[in-house]
Amino acid sequence: MSFSITGRSLLAAAALALCPVAASAQDFTPENPECIAPANPGGGWDFTCRQVGKSMQDLDIIPSTMQVVNLSGGGGGVAFAEVVNKRNDDNDLIVAASSATATRLAQNAFPGNTMDQVRWIGSVGADYGVIAVAADSDIETLPQLMDRMKEDPTSISIGGGSAVGGWDHLKVLIAAQKAGVEDVRQVKYIAFAGGGEAVTQLLAGSLQAFTGDLSEAKGFVDSGDIKVIALLAPERLEGEFSKFPTAKEQGIDAIGANWRGFYAPGNMSDEAYDYWVGAVDKLYDTEEWKAVMEANGLAPLDLQGEEFQQFVSESVQNITDLSKEIGILQ
């Protein structure tokens, strides 16, 4: 079973993206634009807020600087609760979200909270998962890592920036399942507040492998700290990412794409919602954003407004099904 954003679903996404987005945004302009990144600096949500905020500002899509606030905890749950309980009608606020957010919602990990309590704005691309090791590790391939895991699951600690049972954890379990690990529940996963912290522990020797997304791994690859042993994409990417081998070409048919986008407070006004939907739509269509996507290995995923809401709903359902299949949910 796979719920990757590939093939038919990408085509469907492309078709949906052709639908016009209603953006009667003239009635609203944010005074103090703010983006909450629900993790510490250095991870994918932080990247989403900062890169989108900077690009929107540079292109004059928003009238002033986007303030980025890091609010980590609970795999995004602290930020979600903050928005629902305290900032439910804040028209200037958007929040970075991803497949990790859908995963936590699918697994009822935000107590008392559901996806319908917020408004889903749009996506800015999809980020393929990676499994990486320290640059000086003697592990060179994904099958080598999985063979050691089969011999003794407790001998390999893998860290990521999502909570236990979260998206980074699920990616490893999907790969382990496809590699023939008999009981994936024995796989040793350690959760950190962000991908940056997980890589720090990998370099310190506390972990044997790192699971994350290409955008958050890129800087550590460029600095020579880590090496990617598997990209969880259906085929190799182009350009500077073409050097990363896929899990699939190594005989392990694991695919995991992490969509990146935003939600907003549930009681945001329709005018403000239309403004932010329009802003994301406008950004996505620029050459500048396409260059950002290419530089960071983001795959196309162009959904806004109602189409994005429907897509997130389907993501939550797919992850619920997978979580039951591998024993995370009863």
> Residue 93 maps to which CATH number?
3.40.190.150
Which residue, 230, 250, 270, sits at the end of a domain? Answer: 250
Taken in order 288, 293, 299, 301, the sign of the CA dihedral is negative
Pick the range with the lowest mean pLDDT from 14-28, 202-216, 312-326.
Answer: 14-28
Which residue, 191, 218, 250, sits at the end of a domain? Answer: 250
Verify that 85 and 229 share a domain, yes or no: no
What pTM was computed for the model? 0.78
Q: How confident is the model at residue 268 (pLDDT cuts 50, 70, 90)?
A: very high
Verify that 24 and 104 share a domain, yes or no: yes
The domain total for the chain is: 2
Whole-number Å distance between alpha carbons of 8 and 153: 35
Whole-number Å distance between alpha carbons of 259 and 5: 8
Tell me the mean pLDDT in the region 76-105: 96
Query: Which pLDDT score, from 0 to 100, does residue 318 have?
Result: 87
Verify that 193 and 79 share a domain, yes or no: no
Verify that 23 and 100 share a domain, yes or no: yes
The overall average pLDDT reported for the chain is 90
**Dihedral-angle region of residue 108 (phi above 0 means left; psi in -120 to 50 means alpha; beta otherwise):** left
Tell me the mean pLDDT in the region 118-124: 98
Q: Is residue 2 part of a domain?
A: no
Verify that 142 and 243 share a domain, yes or no: yes
Q: Is residue 330 part of a domain?
A: no
Q: Is 80 exceeded by the pLDDT of residue 8?
A: no
Verify that 211 and 289 share a domain, yes or no: no
89: domain range?
Answer: 7-127+258-325
Verify that 145 and 108 share a domain, yes or no: no
Which residue, 202, 223, 250, sits at the end of a domain? Answer: 250
> Residue 238 maps to which CATH number?
3.40.190.10
pLDDT digits (tens, 9 = 90+) for 130-140: 999 999 999 99
| Tokens describing residue 18 | 């052709």
Query: Which pLDDT score, from 0 to 100, does residue 328 have?
Result: 84
Cα–Cα separations (whole angstroms), residue 238 to 257, 301, 302, 317: 16, 17, 20, 31
Q: How confident is the model at residue 7 (pLDDT cuts 50, 70, 90)?
A: very low
Verify that 230 and 148 share a domain, yes or no: yes
Q: Is residue 1 part of a domain?
A: no
Query: Which pLDDT score, from 0 to 100, does residue 284 have?
Result: 98
